[in-house]
Amino acid sequence: MFDLQGHRGARGLWPENTLVGFARAMELGVSALELDCAVTRDGVVVVSHDPELNPDCTRDAQGRFLASAGPPIFTLSHAQLQSYDVGRLRPGSAYAARFPQQQPVDGERIPSLADVLTLVRTRGRGGVRVALEVKTFPEQPELTPAPEPFVQALRAEVERTGTASLVTFLAFDWRVLSAAQRLMPQLATAALTEQQPGEDTVRIGSPHPSPWLGGLDPGHFGGSIVRLVKATGAGSWGPDYRDLDAPLIEQAHALGLRVVPWTVNEPADMQRLLAFNVDGMITDRPDVLRALLERAGIPAPPPVPQH
């Protein structure tokens, strides 16, 4: 079955990384929920893409949007974090313009990872996975725990909720993959990459090694991104969709790697990648991708029944 992953739930339709967004995405029909994690000052693992509160989708206890990026989540207690509402995009913002069909759900809070894992286990009944991106920043280490303590905190939540069979760890920072494979060898892992101007985590051919690669040197792999990813020990590769072509996907498949690019929202890009034979896609619009899969006769994940 095609691996249709809802990005931050279904960001194009409902507030990102919220319980309501995750529930609605499962009801629409996804194989996995892609989400991001942070850790509060008092050690609670929460679900948030940004290490700092995003002013374009965060309101304070008085209902006012933050004037600028909020403090790092790592510096806030869980109780402090729960005072913020993340159920609506700031009107007139560039962020809101990107997702005009997102439906606001006032009162949504940043959820704990435990709450999301429990939701997936109970509602998904084993048919929905969690693609859990571990956000660390080699060039800004003060924003998050270090990779190994971060993975240890995640391991505690996964074990406590009994969801190890449902979770895949994703990371751009490949130190995370090494820590995850050492501490939780039963978990699947996926290596994320981006090779765009100004946003290149790989830096093939650069005289300065990338801090994102966990010590791996592209030069030792003939400059091959596919061979480099294989060396991480991950079973899946999550590249920026703009970095892909058919030969790269063929090479990845020949090495036994699954290819699940991110974040694919336009129908033309979806169709091109389907023609390339990708194994899945991460998208803000799972409804659009589902429609394309159905028209192409490709089996899509079944919807999860509503309560």
Query: Which residues are part of the catalytic machinery?
Result: 7, 49
Phi/psi of residue 93, each to 5°?
-80, 160
What's the gap between Cα 86 and its chain centre?
18
Q: SS3 sequence, 216-267?
A: CCHHHHCCCHHHHHHCCCCCEEEEEHHHCCHHHHHHHHHCCCEECCECCCCH
Which tokens belong to 280?
């899945």
Asked if 284 and 99 touch (Cβ cutoff 8 Å), the reply is yes
- Which is nearest to 167 in space by CA: 138, 126, 130? 130
Q: Mapping DSSP to helix (H, G, I), strand (E, B) and coil, where does residue 56 land?
A: coil
**Beta partners for residue 5, in sequence order:** 32, 282
The token duo for 78 is: 């869980």
Task: Please give the Cα distance from 138 to 176 (Å, whole number).
Answer: 11
Contacts of 98 (CB under 8 A, 6+ apart): none
Q: CA-CA distance, 106 to 186, in Å (whole number)?
A: 38
d(CA 110, CA 46): 7
The residues with which 232 forms a beta bridge, in sequence order, are none
Angle at Cα 108 formed by Cα 137 and Cα 70, nearest 5°? 40
Q: Taking the mean position of all CA atoms in its chain, how far away is CA 227?
A: 23
> Could you say which DSSP state residue 160 is in?
H
